[in-house]
C-alpha cells in the first residue's frame, strides 16, 4: 500500500480531483452570479470578465452553472454508488458466509441480473420514474451492485476461513454477529474500491439521459445536461460545450486513475497474502 | 455434464421469463400512454384505439395474450409504427446493430491489442505514458460528445465520411469508431497489464536470454499469454457494445435496434419496447449460456467448484 | 404449421436485411433527379386515416390529391375537385371532380371518396384524427358505433359528383379537406389487401408521387406517379424523406450535403448561417400559437387577479428577441396574427410590473406570503430557455416558481388529467380563428386543459358556429375572444417560426405560414 504514495500519476489525479471537488463545493458561493439568475444583457454571451465561462442560451452564468452542475453530477454518482454499495456488500457477504443453497440462489439472481443490459434498465427507469431525478439514480444504483457483490462474496470466502472468524465461532458468536463484526470490516475496503469504479459509469449514463432530454429539472443542472445542451450549440457558442465537458472529462480521468491504482494495489496485496 | 447443461438451460429460460414479465408490468406502471399527444382525442376515438390493441382488457389477460403469442414467435403489431409488425422492425434494425457491434468489436480488439502490447514492450518509456494517458482519456469521453465531434471533423469539415444515417458501408465507419473508443481503451489497459506480467515470467526471460528476436518473443511468448484476459473480457465487452450502440445509434441517427428501443420507450410503444427487451435478453442470455459451456469444456475446475458450492 | 411459416418468413426477412446492409451503396444513378428532405422523425404510418403527425402529413400530401390542395405558397386551390358549391344554409356542399387517375391507371371516382370517409369514421379503423371530420352529418355517431357508416352525410350521385351534408355550417370546409383525413383511398386496393395496402408493393395513390420504398428509420422514398393529372409539370423524379430526429444531426447532414432541405436547425446557428449561408436560410412564421394555460381549479388560480398579474409580468418582446431570436411574433391574442380575415381586439403590449405587483397584493400575496406555483413545460432545449426566462420574469415579482419538464407524452397526459398548475401548451394548424378560440370552449373536451368555463363565452362561440357568413362569424368570434381573455384563462405568448435550410439549387420552395411545401412545385437546377 505504501508504494501508492510514491505514484506520481495517482498523486496528480488525487490533487486534481480534490481541487475539482473543492471548486465545485465552494465555487458557487464565491461566483459573482448565481446559477439561476438571468442576465438579460448577456444572453448567449462568450466568456468575459463578468461571466468567466460565458452564459447559456437563457442568459445564465455558465461558471456558476458548471460548478452547480458538478455538485449534482457528483452527488447523484455518489448516491447511486452508495445504493449499490449498500445492496452489494451485504448481499455478497451473506452469500459468501452462509454458503450452500442460499449462496447458490443469491448468485443465480446476480447472474440473472447480469443478463439484463444496464442501459435497457436505465431507459425503463427513465420512463418509470423520469420525473424524479434522484429516484432515478437510486434506481440506477439498485441495478449496479452486481460487481461489488461478486467481489465481496469472493473476499468473504477467503476471510471466513481466517483464524479470528474460527475463533469467534468457537466462542459461540451468532452468525449475524460474525458477519457484522468480522466479515464486513474485512471486505469493505475492496468493495469500496470497486464502488469507486461505478462512478464514471453513472456519470456517463447521466449524460446520455440528459442527451435524451430527460432527468434533472431546471434550474438545477448537471454536467450531462450542460454538455448535451452545449453540443447543440457547438458551432456558434463553443464555450457552452468546452467548459462543462472539460470538467466532466477531467473528473472522470481522475476517478478512473485513482480507482485503477487502488484496485491494482489491493489485488496485488491480496495475491501476496 | 448433461445435468449441468440442463440446469444452465433451465436457469436461462427462467431468467428470460422473469425479465420479460418484469418489463411487461413495469411498462404499464409508467406514466403516459401511447395515445397521449397535444391533440387530445375524443373519448370515442380513444376507445376505438384501445380496443384495436386490446389495451382495454384487464392487464393479466393482456399479459397472457402476450406470452402466448411470444411462444409462437409473434411479437405483435407495433402500437406506434402502425404499418409494421414488431418482428419486421426488428428484422430491419437488428442487422444494422449487429454490423455496428461487430465492426466496433473488430476495431476495439485490433487497436486495443496493438496499443496495449506496444505500450507493454516500451514499458515505462514516455511512449508508454502517452499511450496510457490516451487510453485513460478514451475511457472518460462521453459518446454524446465524441459522436458530434467526429462528425464535425470527418463529415462536415473534411467531407471524407457520411455524417449520419445509413446510405453506404461508409456510414458505419464513424459510429463504429465512436463505439469502439472506450472499449479499445479498456482492452489496451488489460493487454498492457497482462503482457507486462508475462514478460517477468521465467520462460520469457529464458527465451530472452537465449537471444531470440523481439518479434518472435512478442508473437510466440508474450502476446498469446497476454490475450487470455481478453477472452474472459469478451462476454462483458459484447454487452458493453450493446449498451453503447443504443447511445451511438441515437447520436448518429443509425437505423438500428437500439434506436427503436429508445424511441419506443419514449413513445410508450409497449409492443416495440417488449420486442427490444426480448431480443436483447435472448442475445445476451444465449451468449452467456454458450460462454458458460465453453468454459466448462475448457476448465473442468468450474464444474467441481459448482458442485462444491452445491454441497 | 402456420406459425413455423411465420417464423421462417421472419428469418428470411432478416437474412434479406443482412444482405441489404452489406450491399447497399448509392443505387440511384445521375439521370434521376432526387430530392432528399430531412424529416423530424420516421412516419408512424402512411395510412392517411391513421396518421397523427405533421411529418406524415407532408409525405402524404405529396402522394395524394384531396378535394382541395395547396399551391406552392400555401394557399388553398382546387385539387381532385375542380369546383364546388354551397347551399344557402351552408349545410350541403357539392364537389365536381376533375378527370383524375390512380397510380395504377384506374380512374378516381366519387365512390372512392365515399368509401374513404366511411372508412375514416368506422370505429374499427380507430382513426386518431377522425374527429377532424366530425363536421359531417352523423359523423360522431358513426365513429362511436351508434350508427352505421352508410348513414354518414356523404354521397356520390355520379362518378364525378360528391355531396357532403354537414351538421352545422362550416365555412372552413375547403381548408379542413386538405388534411390527409379527407384524402380519397383506392377502394379497390384497400378492399383487396386490407391493412397491407400501405406496403410499397401494393401502394396506389392519386397524387404527384407514389410510394416506392420505406426502410424504417432510414428513408421513405417516393417516385413520380405517371398517371398524375398534372404530371408534365412535376420536375423531380424521386423524393426521399430522411428521418433525423436530432436537430444537430440534421444540421450536420445538411452541411455535409446529404440533405437538400431541413425544417429545423439549432437556433444558435442562425446568426452565423445568415453570413455563411445567406441563400440557404429561410424563416417563416407558422400558423400556430404558443400559450400558457392556468388550471383555474387550483387554489392559487381561481382568482382572476393572480392570473392577470402573471400575464402582465411577461415581456413577450424580450422573450422573442433575446431568447428565441428567430423572428417569432409576440402575440397576446390566442389567434395567430397571420390568420387572414380576423383581427383580434387584444393588443400586444409590454410588461407592466407595477400593475402586476398591485394585483398580486390585492389578491393577498406579498413578501411574507409569496405566491407559489409549478410551471410545466415539454422537454427540449428551446423550451427550456423560454420557460426559464418566464420563470425569471415571475421571480422578479417575488413569485416562488418551480420548473418541471416532462416528455411530450407525459406532459400532455398530465394536462389532460388536470394535474398541473400552469403549463405550456401550443396549437398548430388551420388558418381560421375558430380553430384557436374554441380551445376555451367548455364543451370542447380535454384540450381545454385549464377547464375554463364561461357561459357568456360559450353562448357567443355557439352563436358563431351557427353563422354562415364568414365576416359576421369572425366578428362574433372577436367579441368572444376578447370576453374570454379578460378572464386570463390562458396567456398567449408568440407564434412559432420555422427555420429551414434549403439548398439554393432548388427552385419552387416558398416560405409560407402553413409550412406546406409540396414537391410537385419544386425543381432542381
DSSP string over B31-83: SS-TT--SSPPPHHHHHHHHHHTTTTS-HHHHHHHHHHHHHTT---B-SSSTT
**Residue C83: per-residue pLDDT:** 94
Interface probe, candidates C8, C15, C16, C21, chain B, greatest B C-beta count within 10 A: C21
CB pair distance less than 8 Å for C269 and A40: no
**Torsion angle in degrees (nearest 10) through CA of C145, C150, C153, C157:** 170
The pLDDT of residue A40 is: 82
Q: Do B72 and C407 touch (CB under 8 A)?
A: no
For the stretch A59-80, pLDDT in tens is 888 888 999 989 888 888 888 8
Radius of gyration of chain C measured on its C-alpha atoms: 25
Would you place residue C25 in the very low, low, confident or very high pLDDT band (cuts 50, 70, 90)? very low
Give the mean pLDDT of B102-121: 87
Contacts of B168 in chain C (CB under 8 A): 24-26
Q: What pLDDT sits at residue C29? A: 44
pLDDT value at residue C68: 93
| Three-class secondary structure assignment of chain A | CHHHHHCHHHHHHHHHHHHHHHHHHHHHHHCCCCCCCECCCCCCCCCCCCCCCCECCCCEEHHHHHHHHHHHHHHHHHHHHHHHHHHHHHHHHHHHHHCHHHHHHHHHHHHHHHCCCHHHHHHHHHHHHCCCHHHHHHHHHHCCCHHHHHHHHHHHHHHCCCHHHHHHHHCCCCHHHHHHHHHHHHHHHHHHHHHHCHHHHHHHHHHHHHHCCCCCCCCCCCHHHHHHHHHHCCCCCCHHHHHHHHHHHHHHHHHHHHHHHHHHHHHHHHHHC
- Is there a contact between C258 and B81 if contact means CB atoms under 8 Å apart? no
Across the interface, of A38, A130, A217, the residue whose CB is closest to C403 is A217
Q: Which three cell numbers stand for residue A245?
A: 465537458
When mean pLDDT is compared over A177-191, A238-252, C401-415, the highest value belongs to A238-252
CB contact under 8 A, B251 and A211: yes
A212/B277 touch (CB, cutoff 8 Å), yes or no: no
pLDDT exceeds 90 at position C307: yes
Reply yes or no on whether the pLDDT at C1 is more than 50: no
Determine contact: C8 vs chain B, CB below 8 A: no
User: Which residues does chain C have within 8 Å of residue A231's beta carbon, measured at their own beta carbons?
Assistant: 248
Average pLDDT, chain A: 81
pLDDT of residue C116: 95
Instruction: Specify the pLDDT at position B181.
Output: 87
Q: How many residues does chain A have?
A: 273
Determine the pLDDT at residue C130: 85
Residue B217 has pLDDT above 50, yes or no: yes
What are the Cα distances from residue C187, in Å, to C97, C122, C134, C150? 17, 15, 22, 15
Binning pLDDT at 50, 70 and 90, where does residue C523 land?
Answer: very high
Q: What are the chain B neighbours of A123 within 8 Å (beta carbons)?
A: 246, 261-262, 265
For chain C, helix, strand, coil in percent to 5 are: 35, 20, 40
Is the CB of C217 inside 8 Å of chain B's CB atoms?
Answer: yes
Average pLDDT of the segment spanning B290-300: 68
DSSP string, C73-136: TS-EEESSEEEEEE-TTS-EEEEEEPP-B-TTSPBP-HHHHHHHHHHHHSGGG--TTGGGGTTB
How distant is the Cα of C142 from the closest Cα of chain B, in angstroms?
10
- Mean predicted confidence (pLDDT) in A154-165: 78
Of the candidates A58, A231, A236, the beta carbon closest to that of C389 is on A58
DSSP 8-state code for residue B156: I
Cell readout for B129 is: 505514458
Mean per-residue pLDDT, C258-277: 87
**Res. C210: pLDDT tops 90:** yes
Classified as helix, coil or strand, C427 is strand
Q: Which residue of B has its CA nearest to C22?
A: B169
Q: Stretch C126-137: mean pLDDT, rounded?
A: 86
Locate A92 and state its grid cell: 455478497
Q: Which residues 6+ apart lie within 8 Å of C376 measured at CB?
A: C404, C405, C406, C411, C414, C415, C420, C421, C422, C423, C424
CA distance A110 to A87: 12
Residue C247 confidence (pLDDT):
81
Q: Which of residues 441-480 of C touch B (CB under 8 A)?
A: 445-447
Tell me the Cα Rg of chain B: 24
Which residues of chain B are within 8 Å of residue A120 when distances are taken between CB atoms?
246, 261, 276-277, 280
What's the CA gap between B251 and B181, in Å, rounded?
15
| pLDDT of B151 over the 70 cut | yes
**Per-residue confidence band for A130, with pLDDT thresholds at 50, 70 and 90:** low
Instruction: State the smallest CA–CA distance between residue B173 and chain A in angstroms.
Output: 21
**DSSP classification of residue C285:** E
pLDDT at C137: 93
**CB under 8 Å to C83, separation ≥6 — which residues?**
C95, C96
Do A165 and A182 contact (CB within 8 A), yes or no?
A: yes
Q: Is the pLDDT of residue A259 over 70?
A: yes
Band of pLDDT at residue B243, cut at 50, 70 and 90: low
What pLDDT is stored for residue C52 in this prediction? 80
Measured over the CA atoms of residue C255, residue C260, residue C264 and residue C270, the dihedral's sign is positive
Q: Return the SS3 of B287.
A: helix
Q: What is the predicted pLDDT for the residue at C4?
A: 47
pLDDT digits (tens, 9 = 90+) for C229-244: 999 999 999 999 998 8
Which chain C residues are closer than 8 Å to A222 by Cβ? none
- Sign of the torsion angle spanned by Cα atoms C198, C202, C207, C209: positive
pLDDT tens per residue across span C380-418: 888 888 999 999 999 988 899 989 888 777 788 788 778
Of B36, B99, B250, nearest to C409 by CB-CB distance is: B36
Q: Which has the closest alpha carbon to B39: C435, A271, C260?
A: C435
> Is C17 close to B31, i.e. CB distance below 8 A?
no
Nearest to A142 by CA among A207, A204, A86, A195: A86
Average pLDDT over every residue of B200-221: 73
Kindly report the nearest CA distance between residue C415 and chain B, in angstroms: 9
pLDDT at B204 (0 to 100): 73
| Closest CB from C269, C379, C385 relative to A58 | C385
Residues 211-240 of A with CB under 8 A from C: 213-214, 217-219, 229, 231-237
Return d(Cα B70, Cα B77) in angstroms, integer.
12
Instruction: Write the DSSP assignment of C348-380 as a string of letters.
Output: -----HHHHHHHHHHTT--SSS--EEEEEEESS
| Predicted pLDDT of residue B88 | 86
Whether C172 contacts chain B with CB within 8 A: no
Please state which of the ranges A19-23, B306-310, C96-100 shows the lowest mean pLDDT. Answer: B306-310
Cell 536470454 -> residue: B209
B-contacting residues in A 194-223 (Cβ below 8 Å): 200, 203-204, 207-208, 210-212
Is the per-residue pLDDT at C10 higher than 60?
A: no
Contacts of A127 in chain B (CB under 8 A): 27, 30, 265-266, 268
pLDDT at C31 over 70: no
N residues, chain C: 525
Bridging pattern class, strands C81-86 and C329-330: unpaired
B90, B92, B236, B244: which is closest to B175 by C-alpha? B244
pLDDT digits (tens, 9 = 90+) for B9-64: 888 888 888 888 888 888 887 776 777 665 566 777 777 777 777 777 788 888 88
In the predicted model, what is the mean pLDDT of chain C? 87
Residues of chain C contacting B250 with CB distance shorter than 8 Å:
246
**Cβ pair C118, C150 in contact under 8 A:** yes
Tell me the mean pLDDT in the region C166-185. Answer: 91
**pLDDT of residue C20 exceeding 60:** no
Q: How far is B310 from chain A (nearest CA, A)?
A: 6
Q: How far apart are CA C349 and CA B152, in angstroms?
A: 43
Of the pLDDT bands very low, low, confident and very high (cuts 50, 70, 90), residue C344 is confident
Strands C523-524 and C81-86: unpaired
By CB neighbour count within 10 A (0-12 exposed, 13-18 middle, 19+ buried), where does A172 fall?
Answer: exposed
How would residue C3 be classed by pLDDT, with cut points 50, 70 and 90? very low
Comparing CB atoms, the residue among A119, A227, A249 nearest residue B140 is: A249
Is the four-CA dihedral B299, B300, B301, B304 of positive or negative sign?
positive
- C12 pLDDT above the threshold of 60: no
* pTM score of the predicted model: 0.82
- Is the pLDDT higher at B259 or at C105? C105
Q: What is the SS3 string spanning C173-211?
A: HHHHCCCHHHCCCCHHHHHHHHHHHHCCCCCCCCCCEEE
The residue of chain B nearest to residue A249, with distances taken between CA atoms, is B140
Amino acid at each position: 500500500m505504501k508504494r501508492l504514495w510514491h505514484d506520481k500519476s495517482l498523486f496528480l489525479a488525487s490533487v486534481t480531483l480534490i481541487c475539482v471537488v473543492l471548486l465545485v463545493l465552494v465555487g458557487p458561493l464565491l461566483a459573482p452570479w448565481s446559477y439561476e439568475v438571468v442576465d438579460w444583457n448577456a444572453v448567449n454571451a462568450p466568456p468575459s470578465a463578468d461571466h468567466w465561462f460565458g452564459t447559456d442560451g437563457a442568459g445564465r452564468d455558465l461558471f456558476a452553472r458548471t460548478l452547480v452542475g458538478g455538485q449534482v453530477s457528483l452527488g447523484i454518482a455518489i448516491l447511486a454508488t452508495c445504493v449499490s454499495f449498500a445492496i452489494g456488500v451485504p448481499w455478497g457477504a451473506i452469500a459468501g458466509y452462509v454458503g450452500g443453497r442460499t449462496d447458490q440462489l443469491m448468485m443465480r439472481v446476480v447472474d440473472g441480473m447480469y443478463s439484463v443490459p444496464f442501459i435497457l434498465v436505465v431507459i425503463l427507469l427513465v420512463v418509470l420514474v423520469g420525473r424524479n431525478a434522484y429516484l432515478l439514480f437510486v434506481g440506477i444504483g439498485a441495478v449496479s451492485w452486481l460487481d461489488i457483490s461478486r467481489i465481496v462474496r469472493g473476499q468473504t470466502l477467503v476471510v471466513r476461513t481466517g483464524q479470528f472468524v474460527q475463533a469467534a465461532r468457537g466462542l459461540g458468536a451468532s452468525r449475524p454477529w460474525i458477519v457484522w463484526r468480522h466479515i464486513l470490516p474485512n471486505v469493505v475496503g475492496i468493495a469500496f474500491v470497486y464502488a469507486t469504479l461505478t462512478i464514471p459509469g453513472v456519470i456517463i449514463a447521466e449524460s446520455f439521459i440528459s442527451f435524451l432530454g430527460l432527468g434533472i429539472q431546471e434550474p438545477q443542472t448537471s454536467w450531462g445536461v450542460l454538455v448535451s445542451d452545449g453540443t447543440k450549440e457547438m458551432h456558434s457558442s463553443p464555450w457552452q460545450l468546452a467548459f462543462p465537458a472539460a470538467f466532466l472529462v477531467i473528473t472522470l480521468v481522475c476517478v478512473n486513475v485513482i480507482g485503477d491504482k487502488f484496485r491494482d494495489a489491493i489485488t496485488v496485496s491480496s495475491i501476496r497474502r | 455434464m448433461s445435468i449441468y447443461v440442463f440446469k444452465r438451460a433451465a436457469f436461462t429460460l427462467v431468467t428470460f421469463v422473469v425479465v420479460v414479465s418484469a418489463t411487461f408490468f413495469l411498462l404499464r406502471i409508467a406514466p403516459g400512454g401511447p395515445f397521449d399527444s397535444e391533440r387530445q382525442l375524443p373519448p370515442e376515438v380513444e376507445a376505438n384505439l384501445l380496443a384495436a390493441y386490446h389495451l382495454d382488457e384487464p392487464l393479466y389477460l393482456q399479459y397472457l395474450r402476450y406470452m402466448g403469442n411470444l411462444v409462437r414467435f409473434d411479437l405483435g403489431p407495433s402500437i406506434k409504427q402502425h404499418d409494421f409488425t414488431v418482428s419486421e422492425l426488428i428484422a430491419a434494425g437488428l442487422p444494422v446493430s449487429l454490423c455496428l457491434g461487430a465492426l466496433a468489436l473488430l476495431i476495439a480488439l485490433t487497436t486495443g491489442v496493438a496499443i496495449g502490447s506496444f505500450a507493454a514492450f516500451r514499458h515505462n518509456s514516455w511512449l508508454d505514458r502517452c499511450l496510457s494517458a490516451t487510453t485513460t482519456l478514451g475511457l472518460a469521453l462521453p459518446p454524446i460528445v465524441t459522436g458530434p465531434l467526429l462528425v464535425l471533423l470527418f463529415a462536415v469539415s473534411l467531407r471524407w465520411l457520411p455524417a449520419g444515417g445509413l446510405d453506404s458501408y461508409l456510414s458505419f465507419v464513424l459510429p463504429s469508431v465512436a463505439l469502439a473508443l472506450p472499449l479499445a481503451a479498456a482492452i489496451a489497459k488489460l493487454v498492457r497489464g497482462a503482457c507486462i506480467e508475462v514478460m517477468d515470467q521465467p520462460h520469457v526471460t529464458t527465451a530472452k536470454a537465449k537471444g531470440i528476436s523481439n518479434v518472435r518473443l512478442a508473437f510466440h511468448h508474450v502476446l498469446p499469454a497476454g490475450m487470455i484476459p481478453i477472452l474472459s473480457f469478451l462476454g462483458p465487452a459484447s454487452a458493453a457494445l450493446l449498451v453503447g450502440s443504443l447511445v451511438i445509434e441515437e447520436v448518429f441517427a443509425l437505423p438500428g435496434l437500439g434506436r427503436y428501443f429508445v424511441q419506443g420507450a419514449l413513445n410508450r410503444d409497449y409492443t416495440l419496447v417488449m420486442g427490444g427487451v426480448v431480443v436483447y435478453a435472448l442475445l445476451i442470455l444465449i451468449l452467456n449460456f454458450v460462454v458458460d459451456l465453453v468454459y466448462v469444456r475448457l476448465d473442468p475446475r468450474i464444474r467441481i467448484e459448482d458442485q462444491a458450492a452445491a454441497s | 404449421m402456420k406459425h413455423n411459416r411465420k417464423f421462417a418468413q421472419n428469418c428470411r426477412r432478416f437474412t434479406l436485411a443482412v444482405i441489404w446492409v452489406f450491399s447497399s451503396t448509392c443505387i440511384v444513378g445521375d439521370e434521376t433527379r432526387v430530392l432528399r428532405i430531412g424529416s423530424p422523425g420516421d412516419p408512424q404510418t402512411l395510412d392517411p386515416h391513421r396518421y397523427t403527425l405533421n411529418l406524415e402529413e407532408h409525405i402524404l400530401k405529396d402522394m395524394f390529391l384531396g378535394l382541395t390542395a395547396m399551391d406552392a405558397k400555401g394557399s388553398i386551390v382546387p385539387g381532385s375537385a375542380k369546383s364546388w358549391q354551397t347551399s344557402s344554409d351552408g349545410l350541403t356542399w357539392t364537389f365536381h371532380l376533375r378527370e383524375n387517375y390512380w397510380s395504377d391507371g384506374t380512374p378516381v371516382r366519387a365512390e372512392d371518396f365515399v368509401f374513404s370517409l366511411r372508412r375514416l369514421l368506422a370505429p374499427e379503423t380507430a382513426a386518431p384524427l377522425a374527429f377532424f371530420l366530425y363536421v359531417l352529418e352523423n359523423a360522431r355517431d358513426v365513429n362511436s358505433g351508434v350508427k352505421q357508416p352508410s348513414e354518414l352525410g356523404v354521397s356520390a350521385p355520379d362518378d364525378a359528383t360528391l355531396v357532403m351534408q354537414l351538421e352545422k355550417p362550416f365555412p372552413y370546409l375547403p381548408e379542413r379537406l386538405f388534411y390527409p383525413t379527407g384524402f380519397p383511398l383506392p377502394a379497390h386496393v384497400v378492399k383487396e389487401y386490407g391493412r397491407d395496402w400501405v406496403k410499397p408493393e401494393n401502394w396506389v395513390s392519386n397524387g404527384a408521387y407514389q410510394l416506392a420504398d420505406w426502410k424504417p428509420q432510414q428513408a421513405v422514398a417516393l417516385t413520380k406517379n405517371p398517371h398524375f393529372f398534372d404530371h408534365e409539370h412535376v420536375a423531380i423524379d424521386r423524393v426521399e424523406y430522411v428521418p433525423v430526429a436530432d436537430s444537430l444531426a440534421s444540421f450536420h447532414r445538411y452541411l455535409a450535403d446529404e440533405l437538400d432541405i431541413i425544417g429545423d436547425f439549432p437556433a444558435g446557428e442562425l446568426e452565423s448561417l445568415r453570413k455563411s449561408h445567406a441563400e440557404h436560410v429561410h424563416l417563416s412564421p407558422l400558423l400556430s400559437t404558443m400559450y400558457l394555460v392556468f388550471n383555474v381549479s387550483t387554489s392559487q388560480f381561481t382568482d382572476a387577479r393572480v392570473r392577470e398579474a402573471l400575464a402582465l409580468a411577461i415581456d413577450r418582446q424580450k422573450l422573442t428577441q433575446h431568447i428565441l431570436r428567430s423572428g417569432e411574433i409576440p402575440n397576446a391574442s390566442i389567434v395567430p396574427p397571420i390568420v387572414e380575415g380576423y383581427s383580434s381586439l387584444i393588443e400586444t403590449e409590454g410588461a407592466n410590473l407595477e400593475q402586476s405587483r398591485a394585483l398580486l397584493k390585492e389578491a393577498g400575496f406579498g413578501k411574507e406570503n409569496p405566491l407559489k406555483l409549478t410551471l410545466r413545460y415539454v422537454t427540449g432545449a428551446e423550451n427550456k430557455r423560454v420557460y426559464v426566462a418566464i420563470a425569471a420574469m415571475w421571480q422578479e415579482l417575488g413569485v416562488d416558481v418551480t420548473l418541471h419538464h416532462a416528455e411530450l407524452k407525459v406532459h400532455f397526459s398530465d394536462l389532460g388529467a388536470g394535474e398541473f398548475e400552469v403549463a405550456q401548451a401550443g396549437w398548430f394548424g388551420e388558418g381560421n380563428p375558430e380553430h384557436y378560440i374554441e380551445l376555451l370552449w367548455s364543451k370542447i373536451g380535454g384540450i381545454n386543459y385549464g377547464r375554463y368555463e364561461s357561459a357568456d363565452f360559450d353562448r357567443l362561440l355557439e352563436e358563431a358556429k351557427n353563422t354562415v357568413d364568414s365576416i359576421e362569424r369572425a366578428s362574433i368570434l372577436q367579441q368572444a375572444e376578447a370576453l374570454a381573455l379578460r378572464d386570463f384563462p390562458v396567456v398567449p405568448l408568440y407564434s412559432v417560426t420555422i427555420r429551414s435550410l434549403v439548398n439554393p439549387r432548388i427552385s419552387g420552395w416558398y416560405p409560407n405560414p402553413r409550412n406546406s411545401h409540396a414537391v410537385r412545385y419544386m425543381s432542381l437546377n
